[in-house]
Amino acid sequence: MRRTTLSRYLIEEQREKGKINADLRLLLEVVSRACKGISIAIGKGASAENGGVFGEAGSENVQGEAQKKLDILSNEILLEANEWGGHLAGMASEEMAEPHSIPNRYPQGEYLLLFDPLDGSSNIDINVSVGTIFSVLRCPDGADPTQSSSFQQAGTQQVAAGYAVYGPTTLLVLTVGDGVVCFTLDREYGSFVLTHEDMQIPADTKEFAINMSNARFWDAPVKRYVDDLLAGANGPRGKDFNMRWVAAMVADVHRIMTRGGVFLYPIDSRNRDKGGKLRLMYEANPMAFIVEQAGGAATTGTERIMSIVPTALHQRVSVILGSKSEVEIVEKYYREMN
Ligand code: F6P
């Protein structure tokens, strides 16, 4: 049986389909290598040297959230892997207030890489799935890649996006704007192998993901939507729905990519002054790109996520994404009730 490795897939996207150039291919290879490194670090857990990689780092990120040792280590793995290849103009991360410049001793490329190095990091200590999310943009002509403004482009400008899930297996899900593919890390060979071609999110679903403990803070359209789902077969939807919440966006989105569903982390009365909870540029946009490429939809409730022109690097946003018909119902409720 012919196995398609990530390298082969990328070479074919470049050579046969002309979808990516050599620099973008290198970038994606390097990001995947970094994800392998993160996967290995996570796998060592508490058994690693110097007390292991779990636990608090004793510092805070730009959002004022406590950093875990693995947040910092994953960030360093991604920075270190990507800064010398010559394919990048700059990088930005959830863990750094300002963009990371490529040192002068290395050549500069045309791309900008944004990432959440370790999504869902509160799951680490309890040995539940976490992930890495990334987005690739072009550095605009003449723009200064040390400035946040160069990164502040709408999600529609992304040339590639992906996420790795570090779960029972390590997976890499990727789009270069040519559908969505999923690779599984074969640990014996050390390669990502194509295991799901052309991932498609079913339009209809019976599953939803939301942190129900926030219900008292929700806006009326979200409350109405979730009430409809909870009413089940006897309610307006006429069927029973199931609920799941892993509390790591990568894992919740991956479930939706695999068997459909809808994910909501909406703006609410508690997070309104911040604009929402999830970050636009390295969480919502890459996930929106992947979900749309798989036939799904991603909205704030009132606008398409990928249309938003960011005004800040670490901007937050309301996120409702997944199976298209469900996302459309939430949008309809927002239209009717606003
Ligand atoms: O990035 C933040 C994040 O960890 C997401 O991965 C996840 O979906 C969400 O926060 C979980 O938030 P909460 O702890 O409020 O349920």
pLDDT in 10s for each residue of the chain, 338 residues = 679 999 999 999 999 999 999 999 999 999 999 999 999 999 988 887 666 667 777 777 777 777 778 899 999 999 999 999 999 999 999 999 999 999 999 999 999 999 999 999 889 989 999 999 999 999 999 999 999 999 999 999 999 999 999 999 999 999 999 999 999 999 999 999 999 999 999 988 999 999 999 999 999 999 999 999 999 999 999 999 999 999 999 999 999 999 999 999 999 999 999 999 999 999 999 999 999 999 999 999 999 999 999 999 999 999 999 999 999 999 999 999 97
Closest protein CA for atom 8 of ligand 1: 249
Give the residues surrounding ligand 1 with Cβ less than 6 Å away. 119-120, 211, 247-249, 252, 265, 278, 283
Q: What is the pLDDT of residue 63?
A: 74
pTM of the predicted model as reported, rounded to 2 decimal places: 0.96
| Distance from Cα 215 to the centre of ligand 1, integer Å | 15
Which ligand 1 atom sits nearest the alpha carbon of residue 121? 4
Tokens, residue 16: 């046969």
- Using the CB atoms, write b or e for 115-139: b if 16+ within 10 Å: bbbbbbbebbeeeebbbbbbbbbbb
| Distance from Cα 319 to the centre of ligand 1, integer Å | 11
* Residues whose CB is less than 8 angstroms from the CB of residue 223 and which lie 6 or more positions away in sequence, other chains included: 215
Which ligand 1 atom sits nearest the alpha carbon of residue 120? 4
| Distance from Cα 8 to the centre of ligand 1, integer Å | 34
Residues forming a β-bridge with 193: 5, 184
Work out the burial of residue 144: count CB atoms within 10 Å of its CB; fewer than 13 is exposed, 13-18 middle, 19 or more buried: middle
Angle at 168 between CA 136 and CA 245, to 5 degrees: 75
| Distance from Cα 121 to the centre of ligand 1, integer Å | 9
Per 3-state DSSP, the chain is made up of helix, strand and coil in percentages (nearest 5) of: 40, 25, 35
Which ligand 1 atom sits nearest the alpha carbon of residue 122? 4
| Distance from Cα 226 to the centre of ligand 1, integer Å | 19
| Distance from Cα 265 to the centre of ligand 1, integer Å | 8
Q: How far is residue 89's CA from residue 105's CA, in Å, rounded to a whole number?
A: 13
Closest protein CA for atom 14 of ligand 1: 247
